Amino acid sequence: MAIETADVEGIAHLARIEIDEQARAGYARDLSGILSFVEQMNAVDTSEVEPMAHPLDATQRLRPDEATEPDRRDRYQAGAPAVEAGLYLVPRVVE
């Protein structure tokens, strides 16, 4: 998948960043290379590879699931401008 300079402009617009006009061609080339590499990785047959959660056979020591700090929610929320049912109320920013 090749990325064109127009695609870079669109991505920059969506990310709300400014990219210098001279640098757009370089970004398009670099992004195309990244996507090409991802396509190569997707082409590898991994059906015989067992998934792993961690590269080392290490186990985590678990601690008991119990509260170790006192509940101070009411104290922390006392200074908040608006609280309801233990939740902070904030102004809506997305319509």
Domain boundaries, the chain: 5-43
Q: Measured between alpha carbons, how far is residue 20 from residues 15, 57, 77 in Å?
A: 14, 47, 46
Per residue in 40-87, pLDDT tens?
A: 999 999 999 888 777 777 777 898 999 899 999 999 999 999 999 999
Contact, 1 vs 32, CB < 8 A? yes
What is the pTM (predicted TM-score) of this model? 0.51
